[in-house]
Structure 1
Amino acid sequence: MLRTLFSPRLVGLHLVTIGVLISFTVLGRWQLGVFEESARPHAKLDPAPVAMSTLLRPGGRLTAETIGRRVTVQGTFDASRQLLVAERLPNVETGGGAVPDSGFWLLTPLRLPEGGTAAVVRGWVRTADDPAVAVPEGQVSVTGRLQPSEPTDFARRRSAPLPPGQVATVSTAVLVNVWRGAGVRDGFVVATAPVPGAAPVRAVDVPAPTEAGGFNWRNLAYAAQWWIFAAFAVFMWFHFVRDAVRGRKRDAAGDAPAPALGASPGA
């Protein structure tokens, strides 16, 4: 049997079968990876910046389509009402809380020419006395991304109140009370480019908008198809090897000498 299994013809069959199994398994795993990747969030189309007034009207609310959009907004900063958002990292996806290297977001109200106020996060500083806290004067143009108002319980609960001039969240509901009479627009703008006339400040990282993916079931079917092909290849290999072994046994039985005439079977 071993001589049959290792005959040149079957050795070639073994090698071809192994190559087919490896190839079909890899192809099936690749299609499975494509299937899994299809469900992960992926980047949305990121249009060029537009004027914030075209996306957010006075008294209007941010929508799912406008959140994360790049915008430009012009106006004059109100230095007397600037706030520091306490215990923040330079990343909008990190919630508030006492963590190592936490600092402050510079939250400055921008008075708009058409009336009302836009909340602008100008950047991040490590300490409250950083020179970048100084607010630039005069007319400025800010380029950034629109972000939704944070829930009032976004930051961790504190055992003691924050010092004057500091807040825990960038909540429109809170800012309406702090900046009374300012006509605060919904949400806030995170500056993604240096504000002209301001001291250098570390930008707050805000990722480009993403959208949820959906499973592409066709790729899962392709993966199953490749693995079925691999199983079929094993079946065919077994079929050919079995036939070869049976044929060898038949040939061996045909080559055996016939018993002598008249001889008893036990002779």
Structure 2
Amino acid sequence: MTTPALFPPTLREVMLRGRWIAMLLLCLLVAGVFAWLGQWQLGRAVDTAPQEPGATEQVRPLDDVLQPGEYLAEPLVGQKVETEGHWIPGDFIIVSSRFNDGLQGYWVTGQLRVDDRTSIAVAVGWAPDRESADAAAERLDADSDGEVITVSGRIISDEGPVLPTRDDPDRLDRMSTAALLSRWHDVEQLDVYRPYLASTTATAGLVDISSPAPEEGSSVNWLNIFYAVEWAIFAGFAFYLWYRLAKDAWEREVEEFEDAASA
């Protein structure tokens, strides 16, 4: 009786085994998650409702743009706003390393109380040297009699605090609401706007802060598109990994079969 010839399994036969079918289902699940993440990134890559050109140049009430404690949305950075309030005496603080049309100098900042328990940090104006800045701060402090004034300017994101230098611990080089808040008076239970207001009309002998209109941003976020492509590549790699593992298993079986046949 003739013994039937034996042949090694084909790649297709290995892939159709229960183990590799289960592995394929797992890869499908992983790829589906990656595809969903890619779609999520892609949906946020294009701004479907961008601001109209020149929208930041339309003066809006501060309360219409954001509320105390809120972060400033990117499309609103540089938005012209207007608000009313009164200065808090003793809270006119100098911020160093401020450039105005390419010239380095100082900002005089103040706490503007817009209602009983809400304040916003305001950059009042620019001075070319520390002496002029200190003199302006003293003048503003002397004139702070509680009178309600109107302040207009651009709303700008907080620059974030930094540690002071050892040789001058009172020096501030960042326009940081958090850093200014730590030096303000009467701040118990105070609500504060996170961004600051760069006034476009200086007082007390200060120079107007140079504040050009922000550049019009693109409605396409290319970084999000790049992330979406990455997720698509990851999804494809999940299938490739399944194929590579199944093929490696098949190649091992073929080698074992050939070794057994030659023994």
TM-score (norm: length of structure 1) = 0.52
Spell out, residue by residue over 1:37-58, the C-alpha distance to the aligned partner (whole angstroms, 9 max, x if none): xxxxxx7433421110111212
Distance 1:52 1:83 in 2: 22
Distance 1:46 1:111 in 2: 24
Q: Deviation at 1:107?
A: 0.8
Q: Which amino acid aligns with 1:65?
A: P
The 1:183/1:45 distance shift into structure 2, 3 A limit, reads closer
Candidates 196, 205, 217, aligned match of 2:210: 205
Distance 2:104 2:167 in 1: 18
Q: Any idea what SS the aligned residue of 1:142 has? A: strand
Q: Which amino acid aligns with 2:205?
A: P
Stretches of structure 1 lacking an aligned partner (at least 5 in a row): 1-42, 95-100, 216-267
> Which residue number in structure 2 is paired with residue 82 of structure 1?
92
Matched, 1:132 2:141: no
> Which residue number in structure 2 is paired with residue 59 of structure 1?
69
> Which residue number in structure 2 is paired with residue 141 of structure 1?
150
> Which residue number in structure 2 is paired with residue 46 of structure 1?
56
Q: Which amino acid aligns with 1:190?
A: A
Question: Do 2:86 and 2:149's aligned partners in 1 also have CA atoms closer than 8 Å?
Answer: yes
Task: Calculate percent identity across the aligned residue pairs.
Answer: 22
TM-score (norm: length of structure 2) = 0.53
Q: Any idea what SS the aligned residue of 2:123 has? A: strand
Distance 1:66 1:186 in 2: 13
Matched, 1:186 2:197: no
Question: Do 1:176 and 1:183's aligned partners in 2 also have CA atoms closer than 8 Å?
Answer: no
Q: Any idea what SS the aligned residue of 1:187 has? A: strand
Candidates 108, 111, 126, aligned match of 1:109: 111
- Number of aligned residues: 158
Q: Which amino acid aligns with 2:168?
A: P
Distance 1:108 1:51 in 2: 19
The 1:63/1:129 distance shift into structure 2, 3 A limit, reads same
Distance 2:74 2:158 in 1: 12
Question: Do 2:56 and 2:76's aligned partners in 1 also have CA atoms closer than 8 Å?
Answer: no
> Which residue number in structure 2 is paired with residue 171 of structure 1?
176
Q: Which amino acid aligns with 2:213?
A: A
Stretches of structure 2 lacking an aligned partner (at least 5 in a row): 1-52, 221-263
> Which residue number in structure 2 is paired with residue 160 of structure 1?
167
CA RMSD of aligned residues (A): 2.6
Distance 2:173 2:214 in 1: 24
